[in-house]
Amino acid sequence: GENVEQHPSTLSVQEGDSAVIKCTYSDSASNYFPWYKQELGKRPQLIIDIRSNVGEKKDQRIAVTLNKTAKHFSLHITETQPEDSAVYFCAAVSGGYQKVTFGTGTKLQVIP
Amino acid sequence: DTAVSQTPKYLVTQMGNDKSIKCEQNLGHDTMYWYKQDSKKFLKIMFSYNNKELIINETVPNRFSPKSPDKAHLNLHINSLELGDSAVYFCASSRTREDQYFGPGTRLLVL
């Protein structure tokens, strides 16, 4: 089955700096890679996603890159703000009915 | 007009009891899921249903039994609760091949 590794498990950055979270996956059949943000006590919510036919996607301060050959994908947050503090999960999705495997999560702390 | 709702939000119960968690989505999605999030925040898929049919059944004790009366509802029944079942249980739904919408979670504490 799919195995998704996520690093780092915790990340502290100064407000305004960039944050990068990296994930690797094992199943070459995975073709959809969403990223979720989970604030304390809340539900995970999608922030950005990328499909396997695309190498990079940007949405304002958030970008995701995908390297299919190396089987890794990354989340980049620029100009971090305190409200970016949360746990971030990557995921890899394969199969017609979306077998979703989540990474282990990264707790991001943005220090004002 | 909540997209994915779960009841109850909190559940505190004794070991050995049987309990149910209900989930409903009004998004018209075909696929629904149950996830378990433990104290270390790991999110693990438990079950997935597509149009009322079980399609993903991960290695979960058979004390856990999902039931989907229709494609808008997916309930989770747990028999003989154990201490290790304490976690947050999230229901989610999706259209095939799209992102998932999570419910607010049910915080289960087994004493």
For the stretch B8-29, pLDDT in tens is 999 999 999 999 999 999 999 9
A residues 69-98 lying closer than 8 A (beta carbon) to B = 87, 89, 93, 96-98
- Number of H-type helices and E-type strands within chain B: 0, 11
| Residue A68, pLDDT above cutoff 70 | yes
Which of B73, B71, B93 is closest to B24 using CA atoms? B73
- B31 vs A98, A101, A107: nearest CB: A98
How far apart are alpha carbons B36 and B65 in whole angstroms? 14
A residues 10-29 lying closer than 8 A (beta carbon) to B = none
Residue-level pLDDT at A54: 81
HSE (CB half, 13 Å, CA atoms) of B68?
21
Residue-level pLDDT at A98: 66
Give the residue-averaged pLDDT of A26-42.
Answer: 93
Minimum distance, in Å, between the CA of residue A80 and any CA atom of chain B = 23
Find chain A residues with C-beta within 8 A of B100's C-beta: 34, 46, 98, 100
Q: What percent of chain A has pLDDT over 70?
A: 96
Please name the residue that has the structure tokens 């979306």: A98
Tokens of A12: 């502290």
B residues 6-65 lying closer than 8 A (beta carbon) to A = 31, 33, 40-45, 48, 50, 55-56
Is A99 part of the contact surface with chain B (CB cutoff 8 Å)? yes
Q: What is the dihedral of CA B62, A96, B53, B30, to 10 degrees?
A: 120
| pLDDT band (50, 70, 90) for residue B97 | low
Greater pLDDT, A24 or A97: A24
| Range of lowest pLDDT (B30-34, B49-53, B74-78) | B49-53
Find chain A residues with C-beta within 8 A of B88's C-beta: none
